[in-house]
Structure 1
């Protein structure tokens, strides 16, 4: 009887424990997943850039002298040939007057000797000597006149006046280290930036054309994001890539040009260049659907038993984007978790709620109009 009672009690306890464990088992929670497909998209890769005009010319004095007049203001728009500065020329004017007098005296001497030579009263050696003296006097006078002309400093190009570090009365010469100012021709602005070898290959290999130059010529327009975060109103054009990568940084220097008829852009400015990169038949996943564990990037997929499994993937981060291009680790038809990433542990059973893949990727797509 006692054995029978113990057996019944044991069975009751076993059933009770089973029910308790059954009640304690966590429910299978629903989470959103997407089924991977390949897609074509246009991304905007972003690169910091510095801005320069077509020409940035340092204005320097060719002769020595004190600044007598300044005819322009900083930031003023000037035309080619417009007067910018005038150096003091009082001493040079006096030298010019003396040199002009010597020219006149030498001319008188030539005029006096000429008829004497014609009448064979004197030899022509004296006349030739007088002519040589006249030429020397004229040369001296002309050099002084040029010196006076150089004292009037004019703009060599159309452009914008830079800073004016020197003031009236400052002594300058051709050896003065600091220029009088800088004139920038900003009718077109060049944006200079750099990209690494991978980025350069991604852009050029996906561009139309056979040769490298054809690919550059057929590349779509690029955007310029100004330092205030606003987009410049006109598209630019990539014109050149450096012929070689920088051996220290592995980067290529790139130049894009932007029309600047309204002179909004100025030399020395900064911004960011956005370049459209066309990608065909690639797997894209949102960055927030991945985990970074040490040196690996992880995506959570849902297996045939609806259990979560961690899969390492190789990705390319797309500058300026919100997702990764997956080069290895995922296949078409794989279902990846896009909700609860970082919370759900591997091996957890879930109830997958399928979300349209295109609806996840499309908001992240940045298309140039």
Structure 2
């Protein structure tokens, strides 16, 4: 009997302890707090991004005008050169010999003219013979001048200020005026040009956004652009769009643009690449934190707080980003209250305790029209 009572007491204690654990593990009942935000319309800056190829303001190919062996190379790859600086010296010994022969021919023709002139003056011979001798002298001088010019072409100087490119030939190499490869390229990179393209939809948006009757007026009305370098950093000099091709390429359906950037410290190099960022200021748009929007079967959705603080999911359409926000173009109305965090924990008709989110202090703007952010639209023109 005693044994039975002891066993019963142990059983009751075990049941009681299990009940307490179950009570401790039960989740709290009632609505859970979630941060929310009331939708208001405001201004935003959106960046459209375009892949660009960079080139110096002048890329001059240096080629030989005469045939000859490279006698001396006076520069090295990457060297900064000035206009008129000596670059190459070609061996011109054969031309020198031709020049000596041509000079002798000039002297002989001059002697003949000098001999005939007094004879003509005394009317011993006709003037026709003298004129013929003068023509031969002029031809000899022209031939000599051409050879002398070719000798001068053996000394090759830089036509512009710039940076030396690759040097595919070495001293002793035979080069000619018909060589497919240039001796080098001199690139003037004080001003660097960034070439990029817009498709027809982007071009139409550009023309509608920036007012002007002519292309020049539209380009003047467009804002300064920035340049993202290959390491992801932003170049410290702003640029402007300088030209826009007047025609759409029928094969690619694109139009080429050219932006120009100053390059005082030589950071940009011809032949490299980057990303042009064109800021577009949009008025009265709805901004929603990116964390508030989730995707279901490829559609972007958000939870809106309704009557009784119950949430309902809605499909929204967005058009790019501004800072850490989506720009919502449809699906929401001004004054809607949306859940901005914890959407994965919710489902339709879940009751919550709305907690207004704390407003974040915006970053200071660099210019009146362009804020310092990383907004982008993946090359898709913003809807107005």
Normalising by structure 1, we get a TM-score of 0.85
C-alpha distance in structure 1 between counterparts of 2:254 and 2:33, whole Å: 46
How far did residue 285 of structure 1 move?
Answer: 1.5
Deviations 1:50-100 (A, max 9, x none): 211111111111111111111111111112222211111000000000110
Alignment of 1:154-173 (within 5 A): 154-173=157-176
State the partner residue of 1:353. 355
Check if 1:82 corresponds to 2:65.
no
- Is 1:67 the counterpart of 2:70 in the alignment? yes
The aligned residue for residue 10 of structure 1 is: none
Deviations 1:226-245 (A, max 9, x none): 33333323221122233344
1:176 paired to 2:191: no
Q: Does 1:225 align with 2:228?
A: yes
Once the two structures are overlaid, the 10-residue window that deviates more, 109-118 or 137-146, is: 137-146
User: For the structure 1 residues 251 and 326, does the alpha-carbon distance in structure 2 shift closer, same or farther, using more than 3 Å as the test?
Assistant: farther
In structure 2, distance between residues paired with 1:285 and 1:199 = 25
2:377 is the counterpart of 1:367: no
Q: What is the match of residue 141 of structure 2? A: 138
In structure 2, the CA distance between the partners of 1:300 and 1:364, relative to structure 1 (3 Å rule), is farther
Shift of 1:277: 1.6
Partner SS state of residue 307, structure 2 = coil
Provide the residue aligned with 1:289 in structure 2. 292
CA-to-aligned-CA distance 1:288-329 (integer Å, 9 cap, x gap): 2112222322122111232221111121123x8433211111
1:33 maps to which of 33, 36, 41? 36
1-structure distance, mates of 2:250, 2:38:
42
Please give the residue correspondences for 1:206-217 in structure 2 after superposition, counting only pairs within 5 Å. 206-207=209-210, 213-217=216-220
The one-character-per-residue Cα deviations of 1:113-152 (angstroms, maximum 9, x if unpaired) are 1100110111122212211211111111111111111111
- Is residue 2:95 matched to residue 1:92? yes
Name the CA distance, whole Å, in 2 between partners of 1:50 and 1:326: 32
In 2, are the aligned partners of 1:307 and 1:348 still within 8 Å (CA)? Answer: yes
State yes or no: 1:187 paired with 2:187: no
Aligned to 1:101: 104
What is the alpha-carbon root mean square deviation over aligned residues? 2.7
Give the direction of change, closer, same or farther, for the CA distance of 1:154–1:275 in structure 2 (3 Å limit). Answer: same
Query: What's the CA shift for 1:287?
Result: 2.2
**Unpaired runs of at least 5, structure 2:** 1-22, 374-384
* Deviation readout 1:245-281 (Å, 9 max, x if unpaired): 4556554432211112333322112223232221100
Which of 331, 341, 349 matches 1:329?
A: 331
1:117 to 116, 120, 131: 120
Distance 2:240 2:199 in 1: 19
Shift of 1:209: 5.8
Note the C-alpha offset of 1:156.
Answer: 1.4
Q: Who is 1:53 aligned against?
A: 56
CA contact under 8 A between 2:57 and 2:193: conserved in structure 1? yes
Instruction: Report the counterpart of residue 280 of structure 1 in structure 2.
Output: 283
Deviations 1:150-191 (A, max 9, x none): 111121111111111100111111211111000111121112
Unaligned runs of 5+ in 1: 1-19
Query: Which runs of structure 2 are paired with 1:303-322 in the superposition (5 Å)?
Result: 303-318=306-321, 321-322=323-324
Please report how far the alpha carbon of residue 198 of structure 1 lies from its aligned counterpart in structure 2 after TM superposition: 5.1
Paired residues of 1:32 and 1:352 also in contact (CA < 8 A) = yes
Report the secondary structure of 2:98's partner residue: helix
Contact in 2 for aligned 1:286/1:361 (Cα 8 Å): no
SS in 1 for 2:172: coil
- Between the aligned partners of 2:45 and 2:275, the Cα distance in structure 1 is 18
Residues 292 and 197 of structure 1: CA distance in aligned 2, closer, same or farther (over 3 Å) = farther
